[in-house]
């Protein structure tokens, strides 16, 4: 399903635009069960203020992607007009410069919430530099100082 595609520089007004990224997270060994879980960071950053929501999740499935968006919107207290994303497979079924194809569930979610999905052109991460900075901070400053007992513990520490 093709959706309107907004391109250009991420100039914004307060709360009008967010940038989103999924990135590889830490492997977490559950202290109680011994189960090792590969994780991913979901990070959403308000373009204007750089206020950030982050969550550690088990996978990059569409259900997880939508759930992370819901929780981020609740955290921020509203829905932005525009969501700038990479081209994750859970959200974009066909990445291309002029006519990217948005995954049906995500397109319906965006329409229901009232925001425009704005995928970056393929291989152009500079388009969402604000969220990339947040991911870099989490990986370089938050992660090295932490020891996680479980996924729940990791998210509690991330929120603190």
Write out 45-94 in H/E/C secondary structure.
EECCCCCEEEEEECCCCHHHHHHHHHHHHHHHCCCCCEEEECCCCCCEEE
Give the chain's end-to-end CA distance (angstroms, integer).
39
pLDDT tens digits for range 7-66: 444 455 667 899 999 889 999 999 999 999 999 999 999 988 888 999 999 999 999 999
Question: Which residues have a Cβ under 8 Å from the Cβ of 35 and sit 6 or more positions away?
Answer: 29
pLDDT tens digits for range 76-108: 999 999 999 988 899 888 877 778 889 999 999
Cα–Cα distances (Å) from 126 to 8, 132, 133, in that order, read: 11, 8, 10
CATH 3.30.420.10 fits 17-159, yes or no: yes
CB 83 within 8 A of CB 22: no
pLDDT at position 105: 97
Pairing between β-strand 17-29 and β-strand 82-85 as defined by DSSP bridges: parallel
pLDDT at position 14: 66
What are residue 55's DSSP bridge partners?
42
pLDDT higher than threshold 70 for residue 114: yes
């Amino acid at each position: 399903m093709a959706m309107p595609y907004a391109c250009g520089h991420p100039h914004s007004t307060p709360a009008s635009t967010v940038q989103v990224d999924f990135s590889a997270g830490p492997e977490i060994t559950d202290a109680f069960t011994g189960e090792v879980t590969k994780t991913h960071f979901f990070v959403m950053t308000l373009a204007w203020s750089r206020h950030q929501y982050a969550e550690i999740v088990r996978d990059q499935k569409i259900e997880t992607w939508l759930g992370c968006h819901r929780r981020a919107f609740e955290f921020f207290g509203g829905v932005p007009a525009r969501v700038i994303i990479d081209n994750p497979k859970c959200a974009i079924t066909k990445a291309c410069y002029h006519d990217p194809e948005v995954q049906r569930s995500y397109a319906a979610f965006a329409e229901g919430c009232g925001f425009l999905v704005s995928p970056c052109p393929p291989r152009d991460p500079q388009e969402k530099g604000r969220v990339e900075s947040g991911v870099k901070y989490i990986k370089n400053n938050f992660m090295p100082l932490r020891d996680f007992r479980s996924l729940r513990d990791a998210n509690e520490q991330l929120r603190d």
